[in-house]
Structure 1
Amino acid sequence: MDLNNIQRVYFIGIGGIGMSAIARFFNEKGVAVSGYDRTPTALTKQLEAEGMQIHYTDDINALDQKANLVVYTPAIPATHEELKWYRDHGFEVVKRSDVLQEITRSLFAITVAGTHGKTTVSTMIAHLLTDSGYGCNAFLGGISVNYDKNFWSSDKQVAVIEADEYDRSFLKLSPDIAILTAMDADHLDIYGTPEAMEEAFITYTHNIKPNGTLIAKFGLHRGNELKADNKLLYSLQNDAANAYAANIRMINGGYEFDVMQQDWMIDNIRLHIGGMHNVENVVAAITVAHLLGISADKIRAAVESFKGIKRRFEYVIKNDHQVYIDDYAHHPEELRALITSAKALFPGRRCTVIFQPHLFTRTRDLADGFAESLSLADEVVLLPIYPARELPIEGVTSEILAAKITVPVQIMQKEEVLDWLKKTPVPLLITAGAGDIDQLKGPISQLLH
């Protein structure tokens, strides 16, 4: 695949967060980009405004018969008519990860993998490199608030790429610098066992280019099996790691702290987003920036100007009487970090979490963990499970979580939430989940303002 000789590219599932980043990459290179997605969204409307042709019915009469390359997402079923047509007619049909594989071969690649934290860390790294003037091409799994997009380009032959573990696609990448944030069990519908998933993350580190660097979270299970010519460990506060935060102070929903390393330190870092896990995330990002030779002053200024990622500890409302946080958290450990950080930043406020479980398999496999994390709130509202790519599984509903949660809990439909909120004081409200719960963000914000 020669990315420089493509004139027309067609995307099946163009509206996905990772797919749209690659579509934007080609579009900015002057390639004719078109594609299909199931439903229009704010993101697909943006892509259309940028000049891409998109339709929303599976229709072989609407596809591009002259495409040099067809890119599809694994979420698309093999029965999809357009996908079948391209395969039957001998087109080059590849996954998103195949394009990213080629990009990591041709550019200096910084990839970020892990069960959670990868979107935030990759966006932080991309912002530090861009804001400091170093420059990078960014392929992100979330919308950066600073740039209002998930891709941006640069003449610098450097790419920052979020490496997705779903369907093992990240194993195609060959990074120069690899970050590994977590190895907790997830996607057991793909991997089968937590051990098999750990093996995949270990293999990810074996794919680092010669003389490359691994920056891994301190204390990972089986961390001694991770392999790279150069290895650095980062931590929130453990001084046994190569890089860690010290003297952390909570200020106005954010943090001030110092980043310590064995032979360097940067003091008075100011991070204006919430979540103690985000302090740890920015330690990883700062470690990358320092490795690339970016000065302490530029790193400090870039972190202070970082506005976060939409739906990652996003302050929708923050004032003296009301705090409303929206977050993509869809794994027990993400929920634990989200709820504990919010309660620490805003002590004494009753914490209400509205959670939409994502996937029947994940809910079934991790039910105990979900219930334990959600029970850290003072009150929980569960929405029905968002199926995404899955068919229902008998006996797997939000009721199995409700039965295990130890604080007041109720189950309601999405359309019932606003009426309930009109009658219920919620001084600290969190909406969380990876499905379509984000559609509630605007209406709730209007109601609570």
Structure 2
Amino acid sequence: MKTNKFGTVYFIGIGGIGMSALARYYQHQRAQVSGYDKTQSPLTLQMEAEGMRIHYTEDVEQIPAAVKAKQEDSLVIYTPAIPADHQELVYLQQQGHRLYKRSEVLGLITQQLHTIGVAGTHGKTSTSTMLAHLLTDGKVDTAAFLGGISVNYQSNLLLPEGTDEVKCVVEADEFDRSFHRLFPDEAIITSAGADHLDIYGTHEALLEAFSIYIDRLPENGRLVIHESIRSLADHRPDLKVIDYSLDRGAVHAQNVHVANGCFVFDYVADDLRIAGLILKVAGFHNVENMLAAITIALQNGVTPDQVKHGVESFSGVKRRFEYIVQQEQAVYIDDYAHHPEEIEAAIRSVRALFPERPLTVLFQPHLFSRTKDFMAEFAEALSKADKVYLLDIYPAREQPIEGVTSAAIKKMMKNCDCAILKKADCVPQIILDQPSLLMSLGAGDIDRLVLPIKAIFENELAK
């Protein structure tokens, strides 16, 4: 398949963060891009403003005529997050159309470039965005398909200038084994904790999937992998493996401390130290992510001085420890954390930044299956806050599971003030409680509350 020769490209699930990057890529290739998504969002509105036609109800009549007619220059891409009984998906399958998964197309596009795949059950979006910025800021011609909106570039897609030395950074997603369709020349693996057990069944099966991903690397390829899961690469003695973590491994950080709201640290490798790096995006976990990004950037021609500038100029990723309100009397941070380990890391980091302030967390669990698998772990992580507002579970593609509720999490929590809220009740409750430090966490539609909450801090609570 010649991936850049299509006149019409249609997306089923166009508003997903990975799908939207592909949509923008084909829009740049001057294709007529359109698609379906379940709900309108700031991202889909922006894509409509960029010239894409998007509808929000399942409607076969909205499928372009060129697609229905199976014209050779038409392409249909879908996300596995779309239900199997989706009307448009079923129609196209019944008509005998060839449908491509997002990961399949991404693999075909990036196969033509020197690709750096960033994988991990958590940390991959931040790390891939950090790496894309370090390379771009270091004057390396860079393409990137990201799983979040880079604040520096206000996009999840970076396009290269077109030289012969393009480096392509790709977020390698383990969901639905999507990363097995990529062909990385180099790779980062940030973590491989138990997750997506609705797909894999067991943690062992997930670890095996990461081993298969490692096998996608060419002979003598480079792998930067978290020190805790270094053994996943033991079956590939030919690889150039560099392990890292916050405080141990071939690459680690030293002199980590908070200064003026930033995390300051030294990058330490076997033969190199870069001292006094200033990371404005807070979090011990982000320091660790940056270690991996720096390691690959250095291997691709970025100098230590350029690294220092790139780290300090990195502005973060939307919904990754993002400061929404930063006032003297109140701070509001939004984060995508939806796994217990991510929640614990976010709370630990915000405690380091604001040790004197009581912390209120607004959390929306994501998926019934994940909540069932980690209910005790969610309760333990959330109990590290002073006050918690729990929303109902965001189901996404799933049906409810009996006994799996936010109330069940609350029953397992200790030493914490917790309330179960509907989304409509959040703003009134925040006005009533007037928290001085608030963090919203979750991967569902909790992001729809960010602007209303921001408004009350800037208006009602600022009076």
TM bucket (normalised to shorter chain) is over 0.9
> 1:338 matched to which residue of 2?
346
Relative to structure 2, which stretch is displaced further, 59-68 or 310-319? 59-68
1:5 and 2:13 matched = no
SS in 2 for 1:277: helix
Name the residue aligned to 2:70. none
- TM-aligned CA deviation for residue 147 of structure 1: 1.1
Is 1:210 the counterpart of 2:216 in the alignment?
no
Match of 1:93, as an amino acid?
A: L
**Which residue in 2 is equivalent to 1:135?**
141
TM-score, normalisation: structure 2: 0.94
Deviation string 1:320-373 (CA, Å, 9 cap, x unpaired) is: 321111000000000000001101111111011111000111101100111111
Aligned pair partner of 1:193 in 202, 206, 209: 202
1:168 alignment partner AA: R
Tell me which of 108, 111, 118 is aligned to 1:112: 118
Matches within 5 A, 1:266-277: 266-277=274-285
Could you tell me which residue of structure 2 aligns to residue 42 of structure 1? 42
Name the SS for the 1:182 alignment partner: coil
Match of 1:99 in 2: 105
Q: Residue in 2 aligned with 1:126? A: 132
Native 8 Å contact 2:128 2:169 kept in 1: yes
Structure 2 distance, partners of 1:319, 1:40, is: 31
Instruction: Indicate the SS of the match to 2:224.
Output: strand
| CA RMSD between the two structures | 1.3
* Equivalent position of 1:347 in the other structure: 355
AA aligned to 2:23 is: A
Per the alignment, residue 451 of structure 2 pairs with 442
TM-score (norm. length: structure 1) = 0.97
Unaligned runs of 5+ in 2: 68-73, 459-463
Aligned ranges 1:62-101 → 2 under 5 Å: 62-67=62-67, 68-101=74-107
* 1:247-278 deviations in Å (ceiling 9; x for gaps): 11211221111101111221221110111100
Take 2:266 and 2:450, find their aligned partners in 1: how far apart are those partners? 34
Match of 1:232 in 2: 242
Alignment of 1:8-407 (within 5 A): 8-67=8-67, 68-154=74-160, 155-156=162-163, 157-220=166-229, 222-223=231-232, 225=234, 227=236, 229-238=239-248, 241-406=249-414, 407=416
Alpha-carbon shift at residue 91 of structure 1 (Å): 2.5
Deviation, structure 1 residue 172: 1.3
Structure 1: 4+ residue segments shifted above 3 A = 221-228
2:432 corresponds to which residue?
423
Q: In structure 2, what is the Cα distance between the partners aligned to 1:204 and 1:425?
A: 47
Give the conservation status (yes or no) of the 8 Å contact 1:117–1:281. yes
- In the alignment, does 2:410 pair up with 1:410? no
Please say if residues 126 and 136 of structure 1, whose CA atoms lie closer than 8 Å, have aligned partners that are also in contact.
Answer: yes
Q: Is the 8 A contact 1:183 1:221 kept in 2?
A: no
2:214–2:233 Cα contact (<8 Å) kept = no
SS in 1 for 2:401: coil
Quick check: 2:332–2:437 contact (8 Å CA) kept in 1? yes
Amino acid of the structure 1 residue aligned with 2:145: F
Alpha-carbon distance, 1:226 to partner: 5.9
Give the distance between the partners of 2:234 and 2:176, measured in 1 at CA: 22
- Measured after TM superposition, the shift of residue 222 of structure 1 is 4.1
- Read off the aligned partner of 2:32 and give its amino acid letter: A
1:212-246 CA distances to partner (integer Å, 9 max, x unpaired)? 111001122744546362111111121xx121111
Identity %: 50
Local SS of the residue matching 1:137:
strand
What is the SS of the residue equivalent to 1:441?
helix
Query: Deviation at 1:87?
Result: 2.1
Q: Deviations over 1:381-404 (max 9, x none)?
A: 101111111111111110110011
Q: Give the deviation of 1:417 after TM superposition.
A: 1.2
Q: How far apart, in 1, do the equivalents of 2:171 and 2:45 lie? A: 23
Q: Aligned-pair distance for 1:77?
A: 1.6
Cα deviation code 1:120-158 (max 9, x no counterpart): 000001111112211211111111111111112012432
* C-alpha distance in structure 2 between counterparts of 1:295 and 1:339, whole Å: 33
Q: Are the counterparts in 1 of residues 387 and 417 from structure 2 also a CA contact under 8 Å? A: yes
Q: Is the 8 A contact 2:210 2:232 kept in 1?
A: no
Contact 2:12 2:36 in 1 (8 A): yes
Question: How many pairs align?
Answer: 447
Unaligned runs of 5+ in 1: none
Tell which deviates more after alignment, 327-336 or 73-82: 73-82
1:125 alignment partner AA: L
Whether the aligned pair in 1 keeps the contact of 2:211 and 2:233 (CA below 8 Å) is no
Q: Which amino acid aligns with 2:192?
A: M
Partner letter of residue 29 of structure 2? Answer: K
